[in-house]
A and B are shown apart, each in its own frame.
Chain A
């Protein structure tokens, strides 16, 4: 597959969204709503549960499955409240020394009047800033589109994994083609140039592991669950200040 085919695949209908990952990987998931400030943003789904028998906080950017569901979840484009909900849940996880698991799938943070009025920039900036200094292990898995700052808000983790046909990019190839070349037809070319595929990202060090996809079967999810559990188990023993310093160095290398 070339880069543009992967871009299309990452947005494909029927691809498992965050709630599917959560229900297949986290046992006894209890959803927790709201940012305690303004609203409950359904583009971000979060809560607590167990992963391989250990408590975990899980946060996902949810695109929705059918049309009504997509509308309800605003097509996975979070408002500031979504990031503020994520921050609140991460801080709660930190308090109880629970690891944080994020599933990221968004074309980007929502851009609109309300989002600007309520400080989209501040919300994303705070989410990055809080997550990157979180005194508990954090892992992010990009499961579809990792769209720019809206994705990074939940990717300031100890490690960032990506499924095989997902992308992670500073801008959509459409945006890049239209801004740089004033030609939205050059999307395929932009997809190549942006180096947004899992293979490119691992070479650049922006992601740490590629999750093979093949099919989204039960075996896929249980395999992923085991890998995540192993990752958190390894991180659990590390003192919080060391963990935070290692995370600093992970991002410092760029």
Chain B
């Protein structure tokens, strides 16, 4: 009998214990998770850039200058020292019993390793102590539900109690619709905490990132003493698509971008990412209660 090599090596499994062919590892389709990505594609210019280069360059594409969105922790690491996280255990569930929301939340928590869309704490920027919060685009584009509103409120309350300025890295598409009226109430709750912090004579700097729209834009984003916007960020009440649908015309180039808002008088300064830390440090210094602080 002729030994059929092909049949021996490439036989079909006789039963499920032998394992199906489909279950065999297929490196081409299911790559092993690599701890650190080596290269990635710029979402703007489409060119492949080395992740190490991108990271070293503040998440700015070395080829086209596009600002890649940063996670809250990367943002904090870039702008602040001695970060000490607060309210990390804060989380809430499906407050209205909205269909599919439990799963969505669980998936996002699994994917990001974060409980919700904001990271809060205390830190120093340019040696100046402050409380800060940074919102997370990975969590439904930083949408504000109960947890986000609660953590930001607590950050302002903590800062009021401890006499600290607040630096807020704001990034949000708006209210989190699955939390209905509870998410709308977060706008009022955060606004009240911001106002109280302000009445205590304390500084709040909002850094508006791409994008800042909807309910977040119509609350704590625009309640700061100083409002700076990262270069090119989309900032507005209604999103551009909604406006286009409403007025049935195409919006002009640059509409609702940071530069447009500065021109119209609604942001104090446009800031380049590489200069963010120095600017924030300098602003904190100017507002410091210690009068003898030198620039």
Contact = CB atoms under 8 A, between A and B. Distances in A.
Interface of A: 109, 111-113, 115-122, 124-126, 128-129, 132-133, 148-149, 152-153, 155-156, 168-171, 176, 179-180, 193-196, 200-201, 204, 206, 247-248, 251-252, 254
Interface of B: 96, 98-99, 146, 149, 153, 175, 177-189, 191-196, 199, 213-215, 217-223, 235-238, 242-243, 246-247, 251, 255-256, 264-266
A124 B180 contact: no
Nearest to B239: A111
A113 B221 contact: no
Contacts of A170: 175, 177, 179-181, 183-184, 215
Nearest to B196: A248
Given A128-B218, A171-B175, A193-B99, 14 more contacts: A111-B237, A120-B238, A124-B237, A132-B191, A133-B199, A149-B187, A149-B237, A168-B181, A180-B178, A193-B180, A194-B177, A201-B181, A254-B182, A254-B188
Contact of A112 (B179, B199, B213, B247): B247
A248 B251 CA distance: 39
A121 B236 contact: yes
Contacts, number: 151
19 contacts: A111-B237, A113-B255, A115-B238, A116-B255, A119-B264, A120-B237, A121-B213, A122-B222, A125-B221, A125-B222, A149-B218, A149-B237, A152-B188, A168-B184, A170-B184, A251-B185, A251-B192, A254-B182, A254-B185
Given A121-B217, A126-B222, A149-B214, A206 B177 contact: no
Contacts of A171: 175, 177
Nearest to A117: B264
B192 A125 contact: no
Among A125, A153, A179: residue with most chain B CB under 10 A: A125
Nearest to A201: B181
B98 to A, nearest CB: 5
Given A112-B246, A116-B243, A169-B181, A132 B195 contact: yes
A104 to B, nearest CB: 13
Contacts of B217: 121, 125
B218 A133 contact: no
A206 B182 CA distance: 8
A113 B254 CA distance: 12
B223 A148 contact: no
Among B153, B185, B194, B266: residue with most chain A CB under 10 A: B185
Contact of B242 (A111, A168, A247): A111
A194 B180 contact: yes
A169 B96 CA distance: 13
